[in-house]
Amino acid sequence: MTPDSPPLILTLRLDEHSFAFFDAQRRRYFPPDRNFIPAHLTLFHALPGEHRPAIQRDIERTIAGREPFPLAVTGLRPLGRGVAYTLQSPELAHLRRALALTWNDWLKPQDRQNHQPHVTVQNKVDPVQARALLEDLSERFQPFQAEAIGLDLWWYRGGPWEMAGRFGFTA
Counted domains in the chain: 1
**Domain-located, residue 3:** no
* 107-158 per-position pLDDT tens digit: 999 999 999 999 999 999 999 999 999 999 999 999 999 999 999 999 999 8
The CATH number given to whatever domain includes residue 24 is: 3.90.1140.10
pTM (two decimals): 0.94
* pLDDT exceeds cutoff 70 at 2: no
What is the per-residue pLDDT for 149? 98
Task: Report how far residue 143's alpha carbon sits from residue 75's, in angstroms, rounded to the nearest whole number.
Answer: 7
Give which of 62, 65, 79 is closest to 125, Cα–Cα: 79
User: Domain of 101?
Assistant: 8-168
**DSSP code at position 6:** -
Task: Report how far residue 59's alpha carbon sits from residue 47's, in angstroms, rounded to the nearest whole number.
Answer: 12
pLDDT band at 36 (very low <50, low <70, confident <90, very high): confident
β-pairing, 41-47 vs 8-14, is antiparallel
**Domain-located, residue 35:** yes
**Domain-located, residue 1:** no
